[in-house]
Structures are given as C-alpha cells and as structure tokens.
Amino acid sequence: MTLKEAFKILGASKKDSEREIKSKYKKLLFLYHPDSDPGKERNLEDDEKIRQIIEAYKKIRASEGQPYYEDDALIFETYENREAFSERNVYIQLRIYDEERDLPLTKLARGKYIWDPDMEEFSLFSKSVLEACKDLTADFNLQNSPDKIKDLFHLMMQEFILPADAARKLGQKSFEDDEKTSYVFGGYIKRKAEEHRIEPGIPLSLFLRDNKAVAEEMISGKMLGTVSFDDDALYYVILPLLEDPQIETVATVKSADKISRGEERIHLGIQLVIPKALKDEMVSNIYLIKELLK
C-alpha cells in the first residue's frame, strides 16, 4: 500500500491534522466493525475493509514518525451508557477529497452511545439527541410544551457526554506533567463599552452561576459578565467541569474589539487543568426525564 493509497482509503488529505486523520480512521473503523450495529447482517467483505483501514492508518502514522497503538482498534467497549433513558442514532459525514464533495449522511449505529468528539461532529451528535427527544415528545404528547422539550433535550445530552474525556479531545494542550494536563479553549464576553478598559493578559476567575459561566477580574473583583464559548459543544463540556473541585480553572483576556456602537466583545483564553487520574462518571437522568414526561 502506498502513502497516497492510504490517504485515499481514509478519505484524508496531507493537509489534515493528526487529530483529523485519527478521527477519520475511527469513523471508518466503527462503520465496518461488527460492534457498531450488532443486529446488522455481517458482510464478509467488512473484515477486509477493517484490515485496509488499519493498515492505511499505520502507513500514515509511520510516515509522520508517530507510533500506532493497537488499542486504537478497541474503541467500542466503553461507548455505551446503558443507564441512559433512550437510544440515539450515530451519524457521520464522510468526504471524498479527490472530488471535493461530501457523501450523503451515514447512519453508523443506534444505541446508547457516548459522544466521541473524534468520531462525531457535535452538530450531528446534537441532531441525533434532538431526534430522540422529538420521538419522546410525540409519544408523550409534549409538542405544546416548549419549556419541557428544552429541559428534556438538555437532560438527554448530559447522558451522552463525558465532560473530562471530551475536554481532553477538544482542548489545545498547553502544558503537561506526571499528574495533570492543561487545556486551553476559546470564549468571549459581550458587554457595553465602558471607560473601564480591559487590558490583554488580565487574569479572570471563572465560576458557575445559574448554570452559566461567569467571569470576574481576580485583582479588582469586578464582574465582567457571562461567558460564551467559541464552540457550542463546550457548553456541555466546560460548565459541568466548573463544578469539579479537582479541576483548576482560570481565564485570561486575549483581546477586545468593538462589535457595534457602544458594545464590545472581550476574547478569552480559558484554561482547564485536569488531573490525569480524573475519570468521568456516566450520568443517568432517568428519574428527572420520567418526571418531565408526566
């Protein structure tokens, strides 16, 4: 197998990052693995496709001087939260680089699968949870209860996300030692332009209030406002981690710019220091969901 053939098998490009290539490898491996859909009739050609996918990934890793870990192929054992209330579909969007076009949406599996940022785009993950939510609202006649539907969606999302695991995959690693690793994320605060100038580099405290991330200046204690995130997935990843006393959190002002007359956006670098020994616990909101469905 040539390197060009390896990239073509994974639907990848030399311009892709290491994480993007690994993500495409995982998606394809999951697509043809028997654990993805146990009820599906097994195609004998799938074993050969799995062999080619693994060989292609090995080839690309070797060309970059990176090791290949066999346990990458064993990604299916921890994917389900059996205590989740409902099953959901798992979708992926594959792309043909030679033709520069996306293939139709592919349904990989259906089950109580935990979201893996390396395998599922967040938009497709949230689409799958919304579909499951809509099925429940139809079954329990909740179509005219928008507040209940919103609460139901958030409760179901929590059951399929492992915040620390997702943070490790979504964040930009800034430093690491034997006990912990620091990851940086992007966020911002919108506020009215004031005489009080916010200088780059100012450290901010970040904490949770009314299920929202709030920032204040460490030195002056001045409240700056509610933090929004550059990536929608981070609302379900960072907010739960702000409640964990094992995780150190600090934000730094990166820059500020005017977005309209009298309004500005303050850009933040948000750092989470996560202990390597920290393990996520799967969430079960079965009883809360049952109460909503009454």
In the prediction, which pLDDT does 21 show? Answer: 85
Give the model confidence (pLDDT) of 132-154 as tens digits: 998 888 877 776 678 888 999 99
Residue 192 lies in a domain: yes
Residue 111 lies in a domain: no
Does residue 286 contact residue 83 with C-beta atoms inside 8 Å? yes
CATH code assigned at 253: 3.30.70
- Highest-confidence range of 38-47, 56-65, 242-251, by mean pLDDT? 242-251
In the prediction, which pLDDT does 101 show? Answer: 61
Hey, what are 115's tokens? Answer: 């979201």
Q: What percent of the chain has pLDDT over 90?
A: 44
- CA–CA dist 212, 235 (Å, integer): 9
Residue 207 lies in a domain: yes
Residue 85 lies in a domain: no
φ, ψ of residue 129 to 5 degrees: the values are: -70, -40
Residue 96 lies in a domain: no
Arithmetic mean of pLDDT over the chain: 85
Residue 179 lies in a domain: yes
Give the CA dihedral 141, 146, 149, 150, nearest 10 degrees: 180
Residue 206: give the domain boundaries. 169-275
- CA–CA dist 294, 291 (Å, integer): 5
State the total domains in the chain: 1
Residue 267 lies in a domain: yes
pTM (whole model) above 0.75: yes
Q: Could you write out the DSSP letters of every residue in 130-173?
A: HHHHHHHHHHTT-TT-HHHHHHHHHHHHHHT--HHHHHHHHSEE
Residue 204 lies in a domain: yes
Q: Could you write out the DSSP letters of every residue in 49-93?
A: HHHHHHHHHHHHHHHTT----GGGG--STT-B-TTSSS-EEEEE-
Does residue 166 contact residue 233 with C-beta atoms inside 8 Å? yes
